[in-house]
Amino acid sequence: MIPEIDVRACVARQIYEGTLSFSFQADDDVLDIPFARFQGDVQAVLDWAILTDNRTVEAHIKLAFTLEGACSRCLAEASEDIVYEADASFVPGGDDGEEYAYAGGKVVLKEFLRDSLVFALPSRLLCKPCAQWEKE
Ligand SMILES: [Zn+2]
């Protein structure tokens, strides 16, 4: 379940920062490594802060997930734990490309999570011997 940040309610209660911990199921279509899949849910920890002058919401996300499947080089069984961090700003009403917009006083995280996940994904999955072989 992906939570939202209810900016209006937070400001009304004078809460200007917080942390959300949640997990969500990744869409399989973000992953285009052959024979690889997500093992379980993506774990997310999101720190957020509301800027009081313009109600821009700044967010820092940390994603952790595991990929499993066949090694992209030798097809042996492989799995990889991945941790990825990213920052974003959510601007009320605005949308100038660099930033995410939000409307109705609520920040919806879905698009940011999906984008972060796409950036977090490796281009292939390697088993340990192949990963070692590539390093040498
Ligand atoms: Zn391999």
- Give, for all 136 residues of the chain, the pLDDT tens digit: 899 999 999 999 999 999 999 999 998 889 999 999 999 999 999 999 999 999 999 999 999 999 999 999 999 999 999 999 999 999 998 666 668 999 999 999 999 999 999 999 999 999 999 999 988 8
Residues in the chain: 136
Among 25, 53, 57, residue whose Cα is nearest residue 39: 25
**pTM reported for the whole predicted model:** 0.90
Look at residue 97 in the predicted model and tell me its pLDDT: 67
pLDDT of res. 7: 96
Q: Are strands 100-102 and 36-50 parallel, antiparallel or unpaired?
A: unpaired
> How many domains would you assign to the chain?
1
Give the containing element (helix H, strand E) for 86: strand 77-92
Q: Which amino acid is at 36?
A: A
Residue 99 tokens read as: 């930033």
Q: How far is the CA of 113 from the centre of ligand 1 (A)?
A: 29
CA distance 5 to 34: 35
For residue 72, the CA-to-ligand 1 centroid distance in Å is: 7
Nearest-angstrom CA–CA distance, 106 and 7: 5
Helix (H) or strand (E) holding 102: strand 100-102
- Residue 42: the pLDDT is 97
How remote is the CA of residue 80 from the centroid of ligand 1, in Å? 12
**80 close to 55: Cβ distance less than 8 angstroms:** no
Residue range of the domain that includes 43:
4-135
Task: Find the 122 Cα to ligand 1 centroid distance in Å.
Answer: 15
